[in-house]
Each structure stands twice: as C-alpha cells, then as structure tokens.
Amino acid sequence: MSGSSSGKTLFTDVQVFDGTGRDPFAAEVLVEGNRIAKVGHRIPAGLWAGARVVEGGGGTLLPGLVDSHTHLGFGSTVEHRSLRRDEPDEEKALLVAHAGRVMLDHGITSAYSGGNRLPRTETAARKAFAEGWMPGPRFKAASWEGTAGMRTPGVYDFPGIDGRASDPDSVSGFVGEMANLGVDIVKLSLSGESAVVQGTSRIVQFTEEEVAAASAVARERGVWLTAHAHAAESVKMAVRHGIRAVYHCTFADEEALDLLEAARDRLFVAPTPGIIYANLHEADSEPEPGMEVEATEKAVRQVVPELVRRGIRVVPGGDYGFPWNPVGRNLRDLQLFVEWFGFTPAEALRAATQYGGQVMDMGDELGLVREGYLADLVLVDGDPLDDISVLQDPGRLAAIMKDGALHKARA
C-alpha cells in the first residue's frame, strides 16, 4: 500500500463482487473522498495520480457488509465477555462503543439495531460513528424491545393477551417516547421468546388495536417499526400494520407467507440463524425442552427457503452479543444461509450487501460497488464465493473502508 495526499484511493488487482449477485470481474476501483469515482478494467493513471494504492493481490473486493439485527448493548464480543449483563449504565455505554469497533474490524460497515435497553447510548454511538471520531459502522439506532403495558426496559415475562384489557395508549406512548429520544427504529416483541421465558415463542403479546396504535404513531413521528415475531399470528400482525423488519418469522404458516409475499417490496425478514446455532451448540448448558431450540431450528430451516422462493428479502443478523454468541462472529450467518437455507455464496453476499443497503434505506447509494456509491468496501484475501467461511477470519480481511476512510489496510 502506498500513501496519498489527494483524498483518493485506488484498489488494483482485485476481483470485484459488486453486490448484485453476478459473477465477480477483474477491475480497478478508484475512490475519491467518500464515493466510488470509477470502476474499470484499467483506470488511466491520470485519474488516480497521487492516490493511495491498495494492491489487492487478486483478492475479492466486496461492498461493505451489513448486519440487519445488531445488538451493540448485549455486552459480549470476541474480545470481551459480559456474563451477567449487569454493568452500570456508564460501562454499558462503553461496551456499545467497543462492540461497534469490533463489528467494523470484522468487515461490517453498516448495522441496523435490534434493540438496546439504553437507547440514548445508541443515538450517541450513531453520532460518534457518523462523525468518524469513534470507529464503528453506519448505524440505525433502536429502542428497547417493547411489550404491551411495559414502561421500563428489561422486564420480559411474556404473559400474552388473554385475561388483560387492550391498552393502545401505553403502546402509542412508548413509540412516542422512543421517537423523542431520536431513535430510528422502535421494536415491539409481538410474540414471546422461549429462550428467555420457556414456551412463550408461540404466544402473541399484543392486540390488533395496540399494534395499529403503534403503527399510527410511528408514521406520524417518522420512525420505523421492527417486530420480534416467532408466532404465525404475530407475523401476520406485523405485515398487516406495515412493520418494516420482521425478526425470526419462525413459525409462519401459509397465510403469513402469503401476506409477507404480498408485502415483499416494503419489508425485510431477518431469521437470525446465528443465535439458534449458538443456543444448540455453544451455550454453556443443554437447552431445556421449553426453550424450543430444536423446534426453532427445524422450523426456520423450512420457512426461510420458502420466503426466498416467494421473493421476500431475507437478510443476515443473528442476535450476536450474548456470551455464547458474541459480536465478531456475525458473518457466521452467511455460512448458515448457505448450509441451512440453501443460498449460494453469491446470494448470501447479496443479502448482506445490496439488500443491506436497502435495509439501511440507502439502496440508491449503499451496498454496491458502483460509481457514485458510498465507498464502504471490504477487500478479502481469497474468494468467499468459493468458501463463504473465509469472511469469519479477520486476518483474511486485507482492507476495510468505511465512507472513503481506510479503517484497516495491510502495509
């Protein structure tokens, strides 16, 4: 690599995977400022005079990767484990910053939050990452995971809706409060979670009236809604009320699949295979039957190929941040997309790049190696289309660029 005083960077001797899913092609890529200025077989020397030159060595140049279900606040990364998650708020804020840097170190240049008990830390991290004085991905910040009637974070008993009165005012109030904090996303736990409270994943937690109220306030305040939704009825509820991102989608039935297909141009599904794999194989103890981990794996491996067949955009993001599923392992999702769901490596990469740019609501300038697009790029020492697992080795990530600035580049 040679230095630059011109604000230009030239990637040379690379195979470009442009994010669309088509075959890689030999090219050079010129970055000026924070944009891709030129993609060509051989860029004339006059265009890149004075540029920093990154020699690719025949490696693969990808768009920056996007994680669509990020938990910066869970506390655990491949460098640090938070076993109890009971740190004081000040330390949790530092852990959010730490997790953002670890994600960027692993080639994830954009992230869509799946929730944080301290949403102000997410809005602060979003600002710091964007301004560049703290390393981290482009970031969409989220609320904590709201449940009906809940006014404080971290209380998840998932009692269901039977035997209680519908309370749309509390739900609309929650969405409004989170919008006041400046989040991009408000998350609702429309179903329970058996891995937290046994046997609750198939139990709906909100009434139709409550989700309608949340949706109305979200539209008014200009925030997106995300749904934690395992149960079939919770998936249907999410689609009926315009929720933008549906997490898990585990037990979707035929009616839910039909609704998702009809709404495929406006929503995304993140099935989170990473946490399922970790719960099965890497947790400290065997899962108890009520956690439904084996049933969840079986169901999601059936549902996701059907989602793909119907043209629904399925995106990676696997609930990383737990001690047994730490941030930094995020790109294992791409391997699971191939091994569990039948994606080709190119399809898995497209989900993490082109579809990722769309998740970030920046599809016209993010997620592709294309002239005029933002210069978020990852240079891989090897060919992830031959072996998608190479992305999980940070030593194989020869260069990482976000917004035109090299976060990492080999000498």
State the helix-helix crossing angle for 208-221 and 168-180, rounded to 10 degrees: 30
Mark whether 175 and 58 lie in a shared domain: no
d(CA 305, CA 309): 6
Mark whether 16 and 132 lie in a shared domain: no
DSSP state of 377: E
d(CA 106, CA 98): 13
Mark whether 394 and 306 lie in a shared domain: no
The dihedral of CA 302, 307, 308, 310: what is its sign? positive
- The residues near 233 (Cβ < 8 Å, ≥ 6 apart) are 204, 256
- Strand pairing category for 8-16 and 397-402: unpaired
In the prediction, which pLDDT does 257 show?
98
Asked whether residue 336 is domain-assigned, the answer is no
> Which CATH number fits the domain that encloses residue 191?
3.20.20.140
State the helix-helix crossing angle for 332-341 and 345-352, rounded to 10 degrees: 130
Mark whether 301 and 216 lie in a shared domain: yes
Asked whether the beta carbons of 365 and 373 are under 8 A apart, the reply is yes
Mark whether 295 and 202 lie in a shared domain: yes
Structural domain count of the chain: 2
In the prediction, which pLDDT does 32 show?
98
In the prediction, which pLDDT does 115 show?
95
In the prediction, which pLDDT does 83 show?
87
Q: Express each pLDDT in 4-13 by its tens digit.
A: 546 999 999 9
In the prediction, which pLDDT does 1 show?
59
Q: Which of 133, 118, 63, 129 is nearest to 88 (CA)?
A: 118
DSSP H helices in 132-167: none
Mark whether 31 and 153 lie in a shared domain: no
Residue the block writes with tokens 């209380």: 155
In the prediction, which pLDDT does 291 show?
87
Mark whether 39 and 177 lie in a shared domain: no
- Written as tens digits, the pLDDT of the chain (411 aa) is 555 546 999 999 999 999 999 999 999 999 999 999 999 999 999 999 999 999 999 999 999 999 999 999 999 999 999 987 789 999 999 999 999 999 999 999 999 999 999 999 999 999 999 999 999 999 999 999 987 766 577 667 788 899 889 999 999 999 999 999 999 999 999 999 998 889 999 999 999 999 999 999 999 999 999 999 999 999 999 999 999 999 999 999 999 999 999 999 999 999 999 999 999 999 887 777 778 999 999 999 999 999 999 999 999 999 999 999 999 999 999 999 999 999 999 999 999 999 999 999 999 999 999 999 999 999 999 999 999 999 999 999 999 999 999 999 986
> Which CATH number fits the domain that encloses residue 23?
2.30.40.10
In the prediction, which pLDDT does 85 show?
77
In the prediction, which pLDDT does 255 show?
98
Asked whether residue 339 is domain-assigned, the answer is no
Mark whether 73 and 193 lie in a shared domain: yes
Question: Range of 171's domain?
Answer: 65-330
Give me the torsion for CA of 178, 184, 190, 195, rounded to 10°. -100
SS3 state of residue 264: coil
In the prediction, which pLDDT does 151 show?
59
The dihedral of CA 272, 278, 280, 285: what is its sign? negative
In the prediction, which pLDDT does 147 show?
79
Query: What's the maximum distance between 2 C-alpha atoms anywhere in the chain?
Result: 73
Asked whether residue 358 is domain-assigned, the answer is no
In the prediction, which pLDDT does 149 show?
66
Mark whether 397 and 256 lie in a shared domain: no
Asked whether residue 357 is domain-assigned, the answer is no
Residue the block writes with tokens 């409060």: 177
Asked whether residue 363 is domain-assigned, the answer is no
Q: What is the pTM of this model?
A: 0.96
Mark whether 15 and 37 lie in a shared domain: yes
Mark whether 99 and 84 lie in a shared domain: yes
Give me the torsion for CA of 141, 144, 145, 151, rounded to 10°. -140
Asked whether the beta carbons of 371 and 37 are under 8 A apart, the reply is yes
- Strand pairing category for 377-380 and 397-402: antiparallel
DSSP state of 106: T
Q: Express each pLDDT in 267-309 by its tens digit.
A: 999 999 999 999 999 988 777 777 899 999 999 999 999 999 9
Mark whether 121 and 54 lie in a shared domain: no
